[in-house]
Amino acid sequence: MKRLVGTLCGIISAALFGLGGILAQPLLSEQVLTPQQIVLLRLLIGGAMLLLYRNLFFKQARKSTKKIWTHWRILTRIMIYGIAGLCTAQIAFFSAINYSNAAVATVFQSTSPFILLVFTALKAKRLPSLLAGMSLISALMGIWLIVESGFKTGLIKPEAIIFGLIAAIGGYLIHQTTCSIVKPNCRSGYFGMGTSYWRCDSVDSHTVTKFS
């Protein structure tokens, strides 16, 4: 049952992630908001809603939320996660939309799993599996075709590519910093469309919540 719920949450979060880019595109094209303003509103409103939900429905969370501020190592990792990962990825993602469109920005941002694949292979000092290698090559070929046609039609600017790749790197940083927060036994991966999952064995949710 938990696996089913987790799968449904992954699908819903991926769908909402894609919807966010589509809804932001008219705001950017009509210059109602800048990428920085959109990210500021998203993080402030989303963070406030999550904090409110956590403290209302989880009684023990009220005390554990305060304890986070006394764990400097965890607090530092959360700050790195928020600034280097989340803010970088989102500002770059919406900037890519600003210079192209939501579809192109999503394609570039979704290459972060392949950045993870490359770094993991380099760290392990071994080549990826055949299936992973073929997936990487196919993805790169697809991106090349999108970029080539986009340049010809004028729909893609060089700035969109740069910001899209920065967003992908930001997604990789989100993955790495989250794993460092929920250690010791963290196994992670990408569900799809910019959505990541983390599974920690032998560590119950109460322990992870309290960072103890």
DSSP secondary structure of 15-52: HHHHHHHHHHHHHHHTTSS-HHHHHHHHHHHHHHHHHH
> Rounded to 5 degrees, what are φ and ψ at 30?
-90, 5
pLDDT at 170 over 60: yes
pLDDT at 161 over 70: yes
pTM: 0.73
pLDDT tens figures, 39-84: 989 888 988 888 888 777 776 766 666 677 777 777 887 888 888 7
Distance CA 102, CA 96 (A): 8
The single-letter code of the amino acid at 72 is: W
pLDDT tens figures, 6-34: 888 888 887 887 788 888 889 888 888 89
Give the pLDDT band of residue 94 (cuts 50, 70, 90): very high
Higher-scoring residue by pLDDT: 172, 167:
167
pLDDT at 192 over 70: no
Mean pLDDT: which of 90-99, 143-152, 164-173 is highest? 90-99
123-151: burial string, b at 16+ Cβ within 10 Å, e else? eeeeebeeeeeeebeebeeebeebbeebe
Ramachandran class of 202: left when φ > 0, alpha when ψ lies in -120 to 50, beta otherwise: left
Going by C-alpha positions, the residue among 12, 50, 17 that lies closest to residue 209 is: 50
C-alpha angle 88/7/121, rounded to 5°?
55
Positive/negative CA dihedral, 116, 39, 10, 21: negative
